[in-house]
């Protein structure tokens, strides 16, 4: 009789513990490049690393509220530049999220940090070279090249499940 009771108790415990492990949650990353920068602003020459958004860039940042309306971010990340932080500022305000800063010079470590998140939706803004590179790190495949400097209307949706990722490039 004892072995049967032990087996019944073990099976009951499995019903409560294993479902969370068996049904891993999908994590979604929305990765985009910053909106148009104002290279005519004082001090914003090609050598200046931190120009603000242009008027068109500010409009694009507002447009993202509509473009990304189906996503409710759990976290928002940006590099520590005026143009990237300004690109996601309207989203951060709408969802009452603090914009967290990441280092674009260490994308491998950042991708590793992001991979630990499960069941969340995370928006990340970077640059023409770092946004596609981050996508590649997450999906563990060199699939996307840096964006041309003139492209601001593309982003990626990366979906992760069981450590495996897939990405879709979206133009808006």
pLDDT tens-digit readout, 71-90? 999 999 999 999 999 999 99
pLDDT of residue 45: 61
Domain that holds residue 88: 23-171
pLDDT of residue 39: 85
Question: Is 2 inside a domain boundary?
Answer: no
Question: Is 8 inside a domain boundary?
Answer: no
- Contact at 8 Å (CB) between 52 and 82? yes
pLDDT of residue 118: 94
Q: How far apart are CA 35 and CA 21, in angstroms?
A: 39
Question: Is 105 inside a domain boundary?
Answer: yes
The CATH number for 55's domain is 3.40.50.1240
Question: Is 3 inside a domain boundary?
Answer: no
43-47, 155-159, 162-166: the lowest-pLDDT one: 43-47
- What is the DSSP code (8-state) at residue 23? S
Residue bearing the bigger pLDDT, 10 or 125? 125
Helix (H) or strand (E) holding 138: helix 130-139
Q: How far apart are CA 141 and CA 150, in angstroms?
A: 25
The number of distinct structural domains making up the chain is: 1
Question: Is 11 inside a domain boundary?
Answer: no
Q: Mean pLDDT across the chain, nearest whole number? A: 88
pLDDT of residue 42: 73
Question: Is 5 inside a domain boundary?
Answer: no
pLDDT tens digits, 92-130: 999 999 999 999 999 999 999 999 999 999 999 999 999
Question: Is 12 inside a domain boundary?
Answer: no
- Contact at 8 Å (CB) between 46 and 65? no
Taking every pair of Cα atoms in the chain, the longest distance, rounded to a whole number of angstroms, is 84
Q: Specify burial of residue 60 (Cβ count, 10 A radius: 0-12, 13-18, 19+).
A: buried
């Amino acid at each position: 009789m004892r072995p049967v009771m032990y087996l019944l108790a073990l099976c009951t415990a499995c019903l409560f513990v294993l479902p969370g492990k068996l049904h891993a949650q999908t994590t979604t990353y929305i990765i985009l490049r910053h909106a148009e920068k104002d290279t005519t602003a004082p001090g914003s020459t090609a050598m200046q690393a931190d120009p603000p958004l242009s008027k068109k860039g500010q409009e694009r940042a507002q447009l993202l509220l509509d473009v990304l309306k189906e996503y409710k971010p759990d976290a928002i990340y940006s590099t520590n530049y005026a143009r990237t932080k300004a690109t996601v500022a309207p989203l951060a305000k709408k969802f009452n999220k603090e914009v967290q800063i990441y280092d674009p010079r260490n994308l491998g470590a950042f991708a590793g940090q992001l991979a630990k998140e499960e069941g969340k939706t995370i928006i990340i803004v970077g640059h023409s070279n770092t946004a596609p590179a981050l996508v590649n790190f997450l999906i563990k495949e060199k699939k996307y090249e840096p964006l041309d400097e003139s492209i601001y209307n593309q982003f990626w949706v990366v979906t992760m499940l069981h450590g495996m990722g897939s990405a879709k490039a979206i133009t808006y």
